[in-house]
Structure 1
Amino acid sequence: MSDAEQTGEARRDKSERLLAGRYRLGEVLGRGGMGTVWRAKDETLGRTVAVKELRFPSSIDDEEKRRLITRTLREAKAIARIRNTSAVTVYDVVDEDDRPWIVMELVEGKSLAEVIREDGVLTPRRAAEVGLAVLDVLRSAHREGILHRDVKPSNVLIAEDGRVVLTDFGIAQVEGDPSITSTGMLVGAPSYISPERARGHKPGPAADLWSLGGLLYASVEGVPPYDKGSAIATLTAVMTEDVEQPENAGPLEKVIYGLLAKDPEQRLDDAGARALLMDVIHSPEIKAEPEPVEATKVVPLPPLPPAPSKAPRAPKTPKAQKPHRPHPPSWRASSAWSSSRAG
C-alpha cells in the first residue's frame, strides 16, 4: 500500500472513530495551528456537534504539551462562563489520548473572513450589526474577567440564519488563572493586536475593543487596518503609524477611529462604541438609485438649421424673332392693276 493510500486509510479510520463511546467523528470542518475541528454526531442525544481536537506539533516537549492542554481546558471554561447568544455553547469536554477534546455547538455558516473574501465587503450598516453582536459577547466576557485577545474576522462566524458568533477563546486570558503563554511570546494576529499588547504592557478590556475596531475596518475595506507583510513591521506600524483612511466606512468611520485610538485611555469604551454602532444601524442608508433603462427624458431639441434660400431664376431668353417683311398694301396692288387695266 502506498503512502498516500495509508494516509487516506488513516483518515477514514479516524473519521469513523467513536470518541468517548458517544461522539462519532465525521468530516473535518477546519484546521488551525493547534487544533482540528470535526463535524460529529452525538449518538446519545442524536444531534450534530462540533468537536475540537487538540493537536500537538512535532518535536514538542512535555512542558509545552502541558501548556497546550491547560490552554484548551481554559478555553472550554471561558466559553462556559459566558452567557450570550453570540458565544458558541460548550456541551462537553472529553479526555482521550491524554488530551482534551471540546464538544461544542455546531454553527453552520461561514467565517467573516470567508464572507469578505467570497462575497465582498459588508455595507456599513451590516458591519455595525456584526460589530454590535461581537461587542455584546466581549461585554459578557469582560464581566466574567475574560479577555478574548484574538478578535479577528476568521474567529467570527456568520450563521446561515444571520446569527453572529464569536469563537476561539483559545488564547483568552482569564482573571485568576495563571498565564500559560511562554515568556516573550506574543500570541494573536499582528494586524489585530492592540498597541499596548505590542509594547508588552498588560492588556485590559480596551485591547479587545481595539481588535474590534480592526475587525470593523476589515469588514468594510476588505483588508486589515495594518498589514505590512511581516509580523515585526506590522506591529511597528500598529504602535507608531496612523491608520490609513477607510474609503467605504461612511457613517462607521467615527467608531473605527474611536476604537483604533492608540492610547487605551482615549479609546472608545463599551458604552461609547455601542452608542455609535446603534447610530449607524438606525441611520438611513444612502443609495444611488439606478436610472430606469427606458426612462422618459425631457431633452431640448437642437435648433433647426436655416432653410436654404431659393436661387433667383435666370431670366428667360427671348425667342428669336423672325425678320419683319411688310406686305404691300392691298389697295396699292389693286390700284396698280386697276390703273394698268385702265390704260
Structure 2
Amino acid sequence: MGFDPTAGLTGWDLTGFHEGHDTECWKRLGAQEMTIEDSERGPIFGTRFSVWAPNAHAVRLVGDFNWWNGENSAMHLIPGAGVWALFVEGASTGSLYKFEVCGADGVWRLKADPMARFAEASPHTASIVYESQYVWGDDQWLWFRGEAKPHAEPMSIYEVHIGSWRKDLTYVQLAKELVEYVSWQGYTHVEFLPVATHPFGGSWGYQVTGFFAPMSRFGSPDEFRFLVDQLHQAGVGVIVDWVPGHFATDAWALSRFDGTALYEHADPRKGEQPDWGTYVFNFGRNEVKSFLISNAYYWLDQFHIDGLRVDAVASMLYLDYSREPGQWVPNQFGGNENLEAVEFLQMVNS
C-alpha cells in the first residue's frame, strides 16, 4: 500500500473540535469522499471514514464494500486525537457502513456513524456515504432574506409533521403539494417538526439517532434540499425543529458510544431525562459542544434553513427539570441553573 491509510487526517485538524469551537466538524469526521495520492499508482478515489471514540480499545469499519467483515478493516488511531480513521478505495456515495467499536469495557458494539449525512430507513440502521450534488436555485430568496427585518415584519408559520401531512408523500411530492398549499393559504414560513433521523416513524421525531441525516424514508438529502429550494422560490421561509437537549437511547446510536458515557453525562441525575426516557447531552464536554454547534450550522448552511426552533429549552436550562428533591445535582453555586447549557446556548446564538 502506497498511501496514508488515514488520508492525511491529523490531530492538528481536530484542534477546534477538541477545544469546543469547531462549527464544521462534519467536514473532518464521518464519511468523506476524496481523491488521494498513491506513491505507486497515482491518484485513487475513495472515502475516508473517521469517528471520535477516545476510550475505545479498537475500532473496525464494516460495510457492503467488505461484506460486513471488519477483520481486515481495522481503523487507525490519530495520535492524541481520540479519533479513528481509515481510507477505503472505491467506497462512495451509496455505500453502507457502520463502526465496530471495542469499548473501554472490552465489549464490541456495532454503531452507526454520529456524523452520517444519510442513513437507512427504520428498521435498518446502517449509515450511508453521501456527497451532495445539488445545485440551488434560491439566490433571490437568500438575497431577500438578507435584506429583510424579520423582527419588524409579520410572520405566519405553518407547522408541519412530514410523516403525517397528507401521509406517505416524499420530499419531491411535498415540494409540489405543500408549496401549493402554504402559498394558497398565505403563510410566510413553514416549520418542520424534526427531520433528523429518528427510529420511530410514528413519533413526532424528538428522539433523534442521526443528527446530520434527514429522514430517508421520504427521500435523499438532496431531495430534502429540493423541497427547501422550492419553498424558497415560492417566497416561503423554512424553520426546522432542532433537538440539542437529549437523544435516543438506542444501543446502535450515540449511547455509551465507546463503552463510556461519551456524549451523555455518566451521572443519571444529569445524564438522563426521565420524562422521555432519553439521554441528556454533556454540554460541558468540548467535543459535544463542537458536535452540536456544527449540527446547528450544518442545517443552516447545507440545507439553507432560515431558522431553528430549539426544542425543550427548559429541560436544558434547569437541572431540576421534572425531578424531585434528591434526583438532581446543584451547580457550583448551589443553584438549579445548568450553567454549561446556558454557555452552550449562548455560543450557538453568537
TM-score relative to the length of structure 2: 0.28
More strand by share: 2
Which protein is bigger by CA-based radius of gyration? 1
More helix by share: 1
TM-score relative to the length of structure 1: 0.28
